[in-house]
Structure formats: structure tokens, C-alpha cells
């Protein structure tokens, strides 16, 4: 049996990532997939990048998310194409702050990350992508029209699509494919203020996946965001504290 851990959307929350890594050390999965959105919003983007690079050095597969594009190059149209009436000042301020905080060498690493990667386990192909195959911004939202969901599923031959982006963890089995949305290991929106991630077990034709939750010190992270004082930080702090998107 092969076990694959999937995490996504750490968003600069180094404390949450450290807690998840502690769980991973106990479980010792055969592979770790990290589905992007690594630094924006949270109070510790540099420590987060360093921790993810340690995972990568040990064999983890890491891809880039849409907010990583915003932080690395301020390409807001690519990062947030749905914001047709302009990018809020709070998005720009957080992106610029993280850009300055992580420095040139980490920025170069962030820019080099691929948009998606594939992993074959026995006869099963997995793809890790931030939102959906071929897109860093079009995710598998729960209220998506079924025809759109099928179209997005059909953009890859992979049996398992490992992703994040929505910040709402879930496993959906469509029979011919499964979507394993790890949610967010640092900035979750489903109302449970903890880090979410996924564990997949593959044993021949048998495939199972489940969402795991890891507790971290949400109050300390929330207080750090409040103290930072950027536009929107009061809402980011409330989001971390409650596990619900506050804006």
C-alpha cells in the first residue's frame, strides 16, 4: 500500500504548517504533494517557504498557486481574473508585504514552481494542481454547475486530482475520477479553525482518501495578523480564528 499526503493553501501560516508536519512525521507517507498558495495573507511567509523547501528537499512535490503569482510578480490579472472591477488595496498591500518579506532568493524559487505535476503510483496516475487541471484559478467549487465540473475533470487522464484553492476540504468520487481537495493547511473556510489536509491510500485497484484535521494555535496566529496592521488584517485574523472567511 502507498500513502500520499496532500496539503495546500498554507498562506504564510508557519505555525499551522509546523503542526501538519508533526503529524506527517508520525504517519510517514510515501509521498507528499503541496498544491500551492504558499505565502500570501499569513504573518510568516519566509518561515513557510523555508519549511516547504525542506519538504521539497526530502522529496515532496510542490506546485504554484494563483496567489504565489501575485506575490512573486504582482500579476494581479493572472492571479485574480475574477476581480474585473479592480484588485482591492488589501490584496495589493498583502502581496507587496510578502514580496518584500521573503526576499529575492525565495521569490526566484516561487517563480520556478510548476503549475502542476504528475505522480504515478502503480497503475494510478495522480495530478497535483492548485485549482483544477490546466488552471490555477478555476477550482472545484461545491456549487459549480455539473457540466463545468465534468469539463474540468476531463482536462486530464489522471485518476486522482489533488488540489486546493477553495479552502473547503472534501473528497468527491465521480467513479472514473476522484477529486481530493485538501482545503487549507493554514487559512480554512469551512468553519473549523484547524489545518486541513488529505491522506490517500492506494493498494492496487483499491483507492481511499480522507480529510485530516490538525490543531494549531489559532489565537497566536490571529494576534500576529492583527498586530501586523496591513489593510484587511483584521479580517484575516478573524478568518484564522473562526475558520470562516471574514471580509
Q: Which domain holds residue 45?
A: 2-111+185-242
**What global pTM score does this model have?**
0.96
Question: What is the predicted pLDDT for the residue at 205?
Answer: 86
Is the pLDDT assigned to residue 79 strictly greater than 90? yes
In total, how many domains does the chain have?
1
CATH assignment of the domain containing 16 = 3.60.21.10
Which helix (H) or strand (E) segment holds residue 55: the answer is helix 45-57
Residue 156 lies in a domain: no
Residue 235 lies in a domain: yes
Model confidence band, residue 169 (pLDDT cutoffs 50, 70, 90): very high
Question: What is the predicted pLDDT for the residue at 26?
Answer: 96
| d(C-alpha 135, C-alpha 33), whole Å | 17
190-226 pLDDT tens trace = 999 999 999 999 998 899 999 999 999 999 999 999 9
Cβ contact 14:51 at 8 Å: yes
- Over range 74-82, report the average pLDDT: 96
Is the pLDDT assigned to residue 83 strictly greater than 90? yes
Cβ contact 244:191 at 8 Å: yes
Average pLDDT of the chain to the nearest whole number? 97
- Over range 46-66, report the average pLDDT: 98
- Over range 158-175, report the average pLDDT: 97
Residue 58 lies in a domain: yes
Amino acid at each position: 500500500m502507498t500513502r500520499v499526503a496532500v496539503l495546500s493553501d498554507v498562506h504564510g501560516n508557519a505555525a499551522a504548517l509546523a503542526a501538519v508536519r508533526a503529524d506527517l512525521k508520525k504517519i510517514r507517507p510515501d509521498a507528499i504533494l503541496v498544491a500551492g498558495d504558499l505565502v500570501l495573507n499569513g504573518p510568516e511567509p519566509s518561515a513557510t517557504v523555508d519549511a516547504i523547501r525542506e519538504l521539497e528537499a526530502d522529496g515532496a512535490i510542490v506546485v504554484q498557486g494563483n496567489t504565489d503569482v501575485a506575490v512573486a510578480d504582482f500579476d494581479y490579472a493572472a492571479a485574480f481574473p475574477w476581480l474585473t472591477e479592480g484588485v482591492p488595496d488589501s490584496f495589493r498591500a498583502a502581496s507587496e508585504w510578502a514580496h518584500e518579506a521573503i526576499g529575492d532568493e525565495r521569490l526566484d524559487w516561487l517563480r520556478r514552481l510548476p503549475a502542476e505535476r504528475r505522480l504515478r503510483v502503480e497503475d494510478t496516475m495522480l495530478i497535483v494542481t492548485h485549482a483544477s487541471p490546466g488552471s490555477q484559478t478555476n477550482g472545484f467549487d461545491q456549487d459549480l454547475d455539473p457540466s463545468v465540473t465534468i469539463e474540468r475533470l476531463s482536462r486530464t487522464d489522471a485518476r486522482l486530482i489533488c488540489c486546493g484553492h477553495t479552502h473547503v476540504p472534501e473528497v468527491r468520487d465521480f467513479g472514473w475520477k476522484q477529486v481530493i481537495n485538501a482545503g487549507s493547511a493554514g487559512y480554512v473556510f469551512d468553519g473549523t479553525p484547524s489545518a486541513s489536509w488529505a491522506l490517500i491510500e492506494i493498494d492496487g485497484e483499491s483507492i481511499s482518501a480522507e480529510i485530516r484535521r490538525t490543531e494549531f494555535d489559532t489565537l497566536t496566529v490571529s494576534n500576529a495578523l492583527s498586530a501586523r496592521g496591513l489593510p484587511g488584517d483584521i479580517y484575516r485574523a478573524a478568518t484564522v480564528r473562526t475558520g470562516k472567511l471574514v471580509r
